[in-house]
Chain A
Amino acid sequence: MIGNINFVSSFKKANIISITVFIISILFILFKGLNYGIDFKGGTLIELRTDTSTKASSIRNSLNSMNLGDINVKKFGRDGDYLIKVEQKNIKNSDLIPSIKKTLKNNLNSEIDFRRVENVGPKVSAELLESSIIAISLALAAMLFYIWVRFEWQFSVGSIIALLHDVVITLGLFSLLSLEINLSIIAAVLTIVGYSMNDTVVIYDRIRENLLKYSKISISDVSNLSINETLARTIITSVTTLLALLSIYILGGEILRGFSFAMILGVIIGTYSSIFVASPILKFFKVSSKTLEKDEQRIEP
């Protein structure tokens, strides 16, 4: 059903694109920065539902009088639903939130339903950021180790480079689009890591099998053959996963939107990287059937 597509011939072009996008992403992350949410930056978030006639500007105006520093008000879902973000200040939680609520109640001519209130102090947000970075690094290290044990080190390096590629480009896109990074985005990034690794492992598994089966064929041709043999699976699994994710993105409500968007990006980038990043690296390391044999001899003396 799917013909023999020559992927290897486009490796070079794909690599140039990947490296360019990767570097641009790093530049974006470094110079434009990431838009951290209150989980990592500290601050206060209030989601409220008002009459549909309430304007964002009137919310902003009434809060400006409180001298709270940087305030961000944006529409959140349906008309009259707003998300307010107030930057971290040295005001105690127990004083700040009641006074914001009071100000809004006094100044807006509308019933106000405070649907969600979140406040994260500076200490906690720093800890959350730290533990998230630890979690991502550990996940990468653990997978690197697993692949190293199951395959050869060349495969391990290849899969990690593919993973870094996915994570960095996803974060780069978040920086470019100024999307918020919060705890659930970290969960999404880690799932992307898992998914992309899953995809890479399937192709690597086949490459290893074919290397042993056809010891005379070059790594390029083995890669090409293996990618083609697993292509149907790659596409079908991406489709079912994307179907589920699109369903969350469209129907799952505002809170899950950022999370599912990151996942959709990640699945697409992860699928791409398994074919166009992870496989060329094996060629770069000149992996051949000998690489595998050497190891087997060592294991069985």
Chain B
Amino acid sequence: MLNFSKINVISIYLIFFIISVFSILNFQKVEKLPIDKKVNLGLDLQGGSYLLLEINSDTLIEEKIQSKVIPLKKLLKDNNLNYSNFKINKKTLNFQIDNIDTFELVFFSKKNNIVNPFIDNYRSFELDYKKSNINEIEVSFSKFGLLTINNSALKQSIEIVRRRIDDVGTKEPTILQRGEKRILVELPGLKDPDRIKKLLGKTAQLNFRLVNNNTEFGVDELASETGEMLKISKRIVMSGENLIDAQPSIQNQENEPTVSFTLDRLGAQKFGRATTDNVGKRLAIILDGKIISAPNINEPITSGSGVISGNFTFQEATDLALLLRSGALPTPLDIVEERTVGPDLGEDSIKSGLTSLIVGFLLVIIFMFYKYKIFGLVANVALVANLLMLIGVLTILEATLTLPGIAGIILTVGMAVDANVLIFERIKEELKTEKSIIHAFDSGYSKAKITVLDANITTLIAAIILFVFGSGPVKGFAITLGIGIITTLFTAYFLARHLTSIIVLKNKNKEVKI
């Protein structure tokens, strides 16, 4: 085990050198190097906000099932199927029918089925039905129908969340899909996420509806911004979809912050017609079911632009303009997890993490030198090399370093010497019986090999499982622990063994103590 061919030695040091060079990249300040890699600091170290959002698709599903009512009734009529007791529930449609077999045939027809289209991706129909009683049928979305609704709502939400966050102008936000219903948002460096949370908490469904008592389309009774109860027609004159731009502005007369908006061609037409037909009436501007204001229509507005006022502060006007520009979310978003760390706590964590790393490192080095003298030095060189390689690998992977990650590095420092301790103790035993020093070292290394491997592989198993199943802080810890085990094996069995062989071969005729 102490014989190294030249190629072996060269490749050992080459591997060590190439990997550990990467660790230096983290400390240089020159920009635009050919290899631009760095260990990223986690949000707990650099400060920032982590938000996990979940789409709440209940209302969306309600709307979607309601939109099936008319086509479904038409389908039944067209096929001469008599139905009775048609009920619209939150997530289901219930009715009674005589001929269930015919119903099934038309309900699950793949040809031009408008009511219940076949989703090719999932090889499933959008709707499903079950018999809840004799002749009673309950129609609801199928598993894959729901999945499709959630999926498209999630995709759309991510896009709008991205627009809103980009508009606020935080640096390097991360916005990712997590599972079927969640969006992960990471905002490094953000001290107070309350404004962004507020912006993401609004769906921003904007509607223009007339104030009148005409019950043709039904009316809602809503409180205006002044508290006055108004009857609002359910008919939507125009909605936020037709907006192409919105900006905060100041009305000159009273210095009042307002939001001015521009409409697309279709919106301008609709808005122009509605305002022309209803001069003198009041038009309510409704955001997420609440009246912002309900001004009088003094004259037809055909220019395709307008102004919303509503006793805003300038900040409110800015935020409303931003929401209108970015578009409406298809569903409300709930914040199901939040972790925010202030920048000064992050700095404190880096400081205490580094201090404990340096102190722990020195303590271990002193102890090893005291215990094994010259071979302690070998183990210590291996330990330094180990640390450089560990940081090097983290840099190559551009891994994210977190506070538990630093703890993982410190723990690696403590446990890394174990491999060398195992080997040295074994050599000590061999020296008791073996006369030849070289033989003693040789068999010490080979006998300890299996033990070192077994011992480290078990810890590696724990690290891998932590990485795969753990979340957040656990993952950061698992990365450094796992990589640390591999670099430990390399430095103990190649670097330290080579250094030991140099010492032993030089002193082969003298007495070597360990």
Residue of B nearest to A125 (CB): B337
CB pair B481–A119 under 8 Å, yes or no, is no
Within the complex, what minimum Cβ distance (angstroms) separates A183 from chain B?
A: 5
Which of A119, A242, A243 is close to B335, meaning CB atoms less than 8 Å apart?
A119
| Chain B residues whose CB sits within 8 angstroms of the CB of A47 once the complex forms | 345
CB pair A116–B345 under 8 Å, yes or no, is yes
Tell me if A164 is interfacial: C-beta within 8 Å of chain B. Answer: no
Tell me if B172 is interfacial: C-beta within 8 Å of chain A. Answer: no
CB pair B469–A184 under 8 Å, yes or no, is no
Tell me if A219 is interfacial: C-beta within 8 Å of chain B. Answer: no
Residue of A nearest to B451 (CB): A205
Cα of A33 to Cα of B364 in the assembled complex, Å? 37
Tell me if A86 is interfacial: C-beta within 8 Å of chain B. Answer: no
Which of A93, A131, A201, A255 is close to B451, meaning CB atoms less than 8 Å apart?
A201
CB pair B477–A93 under 8 Å, yes or no, is no
CB pair B414–A244 under 8 Å, yes or no, is yes
CB pair B415–A202 under 8 Å, yes or no, is no
CB pair B465–A139 under 8 Å, yes or no, is yes
Tell me if B218 is interfacial: C-beta within 8 Å of chain A. Answer: no
CB pair A251–B359 under 8 Å, yes or no, is yes
CB pair B421–A247 under 8 Å, yes or no, is no
Which of A113, A194, A233, A252 is close to B422, meaning CB atoms less than 8 Å apart?
A233
Cα of A197 to Cα of B336 in the assembled complex, Å? 37
Which of B192, B461, B477 is close to A184, meaning CB atoms less than 8 Å apart?
B477
Tell me if A284 is interfacial: C-beta within 8 Å of chain B. Answer: no
Which of A114, A244, A252, A259 is close to B352, meaning CB atoms less than 8 Å apart?
A252
Within the complex, what minimum Cβ distance (angstroms) separates A105 from chain B?
A: 12
| Chain A residues whose CB sits within 8 angstroms of the CB of B468 once the complex forms | 135
Which of A118, A123, A242 is close to B336, meaning CB atoms less than 8 Å apart?
A123
Within the complex, what minimum Cβ distance (angstroms) separates B485 from chain A?
A: 9
| Chain A residues whose CB sits within 8 angstroms of the CB of B415 once the complex forms | 195, 198, 237, 240-241, 244
Cα of A255 to Cα of B338 in the assembled complex, Å? 17
Which of B197, B340, B348, B481 is close to A191, meaning CB atoms less than 8 Å apart?
B481
Contact A255 B414, CB 8 Å, known A190-B462, A195-B459: no
| Chain B residues whose CB sits within 8 angstroms of the CB of A29 once the complex forms | none
CB pair B425–A121 under 8 Å, yes or no, is no
CB pair A118–B340 under 8 Å, yes or no, is yes
Cα of A123 to Cα of B462 in the assembled complex, Å? 26
CB pair B352–A240 under 8 Å, yes or no, is no
Tell me if B470 is interfacial: C-beta within 8 Å of chain A. Answer: yes
Tell me if B353 is interfacial: C-beta within 8 Å of chain A. Answer: yes
Which of B340, B342, B451, B478 is close to A187, meaning CB atoms less than 8 Å apart?
B478
From A53-61, A142-150, A286-294, the one touching the partner chain is: A142-150
CB pair A116–B360 under 8 Å, yes or no, is no
Tell me if B457 is interfacial: C-beta within 8 Å of chain A. Answer: yes
Tell me if A253 is interfacial: C-beta within 8 Å of chain B. Answer: yes
Within the complex, what minimum Cβ distance (angstroms) separates B421 from chain A?
A: 5
CB pair A121–B356 under 8 Å, yes or no, is no
Contact A135 B458, CB 8 Å, known A233-B421, A237-B417, A245-B411: no
| Chain A residues whose CB sits within 8 angstroms of the CB of B367 once the complex forms | 239-240, 243
- How many A residues are at the interface, by size bracket? 35 or more
CB pair A94–B198 under 8 Å, yes or no, is yes
Cα of A253 to Cα of B363 in the assembled complex, Å? 18
From B84-92, B250-258, B293-301, B402-410, the one touching the partner chain is: B402-410
Tell me if B454 is interfacial: C-beta within 8 Å of chain A. Answer: yes
Cα of A246 to Cα of B403 in the assembled complex, Å? 16
Cα of A119 to Cα of B215 in the assembled complex, Å? 46
Residue of A nearest to B372 (CB): A236
Cα of A276 to Cα of B276 in the assembled complex, Å? 92
CB pair B337–A187 under 8 Å, yes or no, is no
| Chain A residues whose CB sits within 8 angstroms of the CB of B348 once the complex forms | 253
Contact A255 B418, CB 8 Å, known A94-B197, A113-B344, A131-B470: no
Cα of A191 to Cα of B461 in the assembled complex, Å? 10
Q: How many residue pairs, one in A and one in B, have C-beta atoms under 8 Å apart?
A: 235
- What string of 1s and 0s marks CB contacts (under 8 Å) between A241-280 and chain B? 1111111101111011001100100000000000000000
- What string of 1s and 0s marks CB contacts (under 8 Å) between A145-176 and chain B? 01100100000000000000000000000000
Cα of A197 to Cα of B428 in the assembled complex, Å? 24
- What string of 1s and 0s marks CB contacts (under 8 Å) between B333-365 and chain A? 011111111101100110011011101110110
Tell me if A14 is interfacial: C-beta within 8 Å of chain B. Answer: no
CB pair B360–A243 under 8 Å, yes or no, is yes
| Chain B residues whose CB sits within 8 angstroms of the CB of A134 once the complex forms | 469
CB pair B473–A183 under 8 Å, yes or no, is yes
| Chain B residues whose CB sits within 8 angstroms of the CB of A94 once the complex forms | 197-198, 200-201, 335
Which of A101, A115, A205, A256 is close to B344, meaning CB atoms less than 8 Å apart?
A115
- Which A residues, 182 to 206, have Cβ-Cβ distances below 8 Å to chain B? 183-184, 186-187, 190-191, 193-195, 197-199, 201-202, 205-206
Cα of A114 to Cα of B345 in the assembled complex, Å? 9
Which of B344, B422, B462 is close to A202, meaning CB atoms less than 8 Å apart?
B422
Determine which residue in A93, A98, A119, A240 has the highest number of CB atoms from chain B within 10 A of its CB, and name it.
A240
| Chain B residues whose CB sits within 8 angstroms of the CB of A19 once the complex forms | none
Contact A187 B360, CB 8 Å, known A121-B337, A195-B459, A229-B429: no
Residue of B nearest to A44 (CB): B338
Tell me if B466 is interfacial: C-beta within 8 Å of chain A. Answer: yes
Which of A143, A237, A242 is close to B458, meaning CB atoms less than 8 Å apart?
A143
Cα of A114 to Cα of B455 in the assembled complex, Å? 44
CB pair A205–B454 under 8 Å, yes or no, is yes
Within the complex, what minimum Cβ distance (angstroms) separates A124 from chain B?
A: 5
CB pair A135–B465 under 8 Å, yes or no, is yes
| Chain A residues whose CB sits within 8 angstroms of the CB of B417 once the complex forms | 236-237, 240
Residue of A nearest to B353 (CB): A252
| Chain A residues whose CB sits within 8 angstroms of the CB of B44 once the complex forms | 255
| Chain A residues whose CB sits within 8 angstroms of the CB of B474 once the complex forms | 132, 135, 183-184, 186-187, 190
Tell me if A92 is interfacial: C-beta within 8 Å of chain B. Answer: yes
CB pair A263–B334 under 8 Å, yes or no, is no
Tell me if A138 is interfacial: C-beta within 8 Å of chain B. Answer: yes
- Which A residues, 39 to 61, have Cβ-Cβ distances below 8 Å to chain B? 47
CB pair B458–A251 under 8 Å, yes or no, is no
| Chain A residues whose CB sits within 8 angstroms of the CB of B356 once the complex forms | 247-248, 250-252, 256
Which of A98, A131, A256 is close to B471, meaning CB atoms less than 8 Å apart?
A131
| Chain A residues whose CB sits within 8 angstroms of the CB of B462 once the complex forms | 139, 143, 190-191, 193-194, 197
Cα of A14 to Cα of B14 in the assembled complex, Å? 50
Residue of A nearest to B472 (CB): A183
Cα of A115 to Cα of B349 in the assembled complex, Å? 11
| Chain A residues whose CB sits within 8 angstroms of the CB of B338 once the complex forms | 93, 97, 117-120
CB pair A248–B345 under 8 Å, yes or no, is no
- What string of 1s and 0s marks CB contacts (under 8 Å) between B188-208 and chain A? 000010100110110000000
Which of B371, B461, B481 is close to A236, meaning CB atoms less than 8 Å apart?
B371
Tell me if B20 is interfacial: C-beta within 8 Å of chain A. Answer: no
Within the complex, what minimum Cβ distance (angstroms) separates A162 from chain B?
A: 12
Residue of A nearest to B450 (CB): A205
Beyond contacts A236-B417, A245-B360: 16 other A-B pairs, Cβ-Cβ < 8 A, are A93-B336, A94-B201, A97-B197, A98-B197, A101-B194, A117-B339, A120-B338, A184-B404, A186-B470, A190-B462, A190-B466, A230-B425, A240-B364, A240-B421, A245-B410, A252-B407
